[in-house]
Amino acid sequence: MTASLKKNRGLMLAVFALVALVLIVGASQSFQSCLCHSIYYQSNRFLKEVPSFLLCFGTFLDANGNTIAALSTLVIAVFAYFSWNSTNKLWKSTNELTRATIGLERPYLFVDRVHIKRDSGPGDINAWFIRFKFRNVGRAPAEINECKIGIRDKDLLEDEPDYTDAADMPFVQILAPNRTFWTQAMGPSAPIRMKEGKAVQFVVFGKIKYKDLMGNDHETRFSAEVSPNMPVSSVLNKQAYNSYD
């Protein structure tokens, strides 16, 4: 029922306007006065074939020209408002559809693999190099504009990652869908591998920034907590160090 009313809303408004016009014209003083003198008008040989209501309707228009002009202006203004409102709704719907499409047809860069290689014998502490393999798992190319990676003692990590001292790593400028690239290998230097006679637990963390086809900025943060003794790692349990948008 509601859907039917919405579908025929224009027709209902037109019928309502027509009925209102008939009532207003029929009740007007100029129209009624004209009807009373319709015999006089029709005595004219040029007007005798014209129906009385048409003659009197013309009289009504002449008598209420200013009012009709004002009402016409009001109707045009209302129509312009509804037209603008419809156009605005259409624009919003199109914009939402565009955003949804971009959300599907956009790049997503994630760490696909972590490779750790020990630099010397099994007895050496924190003698390793690490590198990350990124893959574009999205459906559009990514324009990469920044890749930073840093190494820090886990005990000195802050709640929010600080990339001030992180190294700028080489990267490919454009990464196509389902394509990958490796970062340059890096590791802790010998003087910082131990602290107070104990092995330092290092965390490697970084971020990669890129743009989609519409020029929107995106960022992926990543981390790896590396074992001091074995070539293994795990993701740091801090959400601020592992996120994407």
| Domain co-membership, 83 together with 192 | no
| Domain co-membership, 165 together with 239 | yes
Domain housing 196: 109-244
Residue 180: CB atoms within 10 Å: 14
| Domain co-membership, 65 together with 121 | no
Higher per-residue pLDDT: 2 or 245: 245
In the chain, what is the straight-line distance between the N-terminal and C-terminal CA atoms, in Å?
Answer: 44
Q: pLDDT of 131-164, one tens digit each?
A: 999 999 999 999 999 999 999 999 999 999 999 9
Predicted pLDDT at 45: 45
| Domain co-membership, 93 together with 119 | no
Higher per-residue pLDDT: 227 or 40: 227
Higher per-residue pLDDT: 112 or 8: 112
Closest CA to 34 of 67, 59, 54: 59
pLDDT more than 70, % of the chain: 67
Predicted pLDDT at 65: 61
Predicted pLDDT at 241: 97
| Domain co-membership, 117 together with 232 | yes
Mean pLDDT of the chain: 81
Predicted pLDDT at 224: 97
Retrieve residue 68's tokens.
């009709």
Calculate mean pLDDT across residues 19-46: 58
Q: pLDDT of 187-217, one tens digit each?
A: 999 899 999 989 999 999 999 999 998 899 9
**pTM (predicted TM-score):** 0.62
Predicted pLDDT at 46: 46
Q: Rounded distance, CA 19 to CA 12, Å?
A: 11
Instruction: Provide the CATH number for the domain around residue 239.
Output: 2.60.40
| Domain co-membership, 154 together with 114 | yes
Q: Rounded distance, CA 106 to CA 137, Å?
A: 9
Residues 6+ apart with CB under 8 A from 245: 218, 219
Given 86, 104, 122, the domain boundary residue is: 104
Given 76, 104, 132, the domain boundary residue is: 104
pLDDT exceeds 80 at position 245: yes
| Domain co-membership, 93 together with 122 | no
| Domain co-membership, 55 together with 146 | no
Calculate mean pLDDT across residues 101-118: 88
| Domain co-membership, 172 together with 229 | yes
| Domain co-membership, 132 together with 227 | yes
Q: Rounded distance, CA 141 to CA 128, Å?
A: 33
| Domain co-membership, 23 together with 75 | yes
Given 45, 78, 104, the domain boundary residue is: 104
Predicted pLDDT at 181: 96
In three-state secondary structure terms, 164 is coil
| Domain co-membership, 167 together with 48 | no
Task: State the total domains in the chain.
Answer: 2
